[in-house]
Amino acid sequence: MMHLWLPMTLAAVLAGTGAYGILARRNAVLVLIGVELVLSSANLILVTLGSADTSPLQTGQVLALFVITIAAAEICVALAIVLAMFRLQGHIDLTEPADTEDTPARSTSGR
């Protein structure tokens, strides 16, 4: 029987580091890295518990592939939002208030 405490401890460290990165960081990209660490810890738990099971279906590994797919889609959308935020505000600091004053309309004549 495989000892499950070592991968579970690693998953707990990853989840704790990710939660700290989500809660304590002001930079949007570092918050996204924290989210990815939490998802990686979930994948590690899924694979660990799936390998401990004697089922031939390998459900933990299959669920981990789904989580990886969803994480890839999530990071694409999140980076697009961060890029749009940087273009509008000039920074990606999450604690700064957004500019509420109206910006001048852009000219469509090409000047």
| Residue percentage of the chain with pLDDT more than 90 | 61
Say yes or no to pLDDT of 109 above 70. Answer: no
Specify the number of domains making up the chain: 1
Residue 104 lies in a domain: no
- Residue range 14-68, pLDDT digits in tens: 999 999 999 999 999 999 999 999 999 999 999 998 888 777 788 889 999 999 9
Residue 94 lies in a domain: no
For the ranges 35-39, 64-68, 77-81, 106-110, which has the lowest average pLDDT? 106-110
Residue 25 lies in a domain: yes
One-letter-per-residue 3-state SS of the chain: CCCCHHHHHHHHHHHHHHHHHHHHCCEHHHHHHHHHHHHHHHHHHHHHHHHHCCCCCCHHHHHHHHHHHHHHHHHHHHHHHHHHHHHHHCCCECCCCCCCCCCCCCCCCCC
Write down the pTM of the prediction. 0.79
For the ranges 61-65, 87-91, 100-104, which has the lowest average pLDDT? 100-104
Residue 96 lies in a domain: no
Residue 106 lies in a domain: no
Residue 83 lies in a domain: yes
Average pLDDT, whole number, for the chain? Answer: 88
Residue 36 lies in a domain: yes
Structural domain span for residue 22: 5-89
Residue 61 belongs to a domain with what CATH number?
1.10.287.3510
Q: Check residue 95 and give its pLDDT.
A: 87
Residue 95 lies in a domain: no
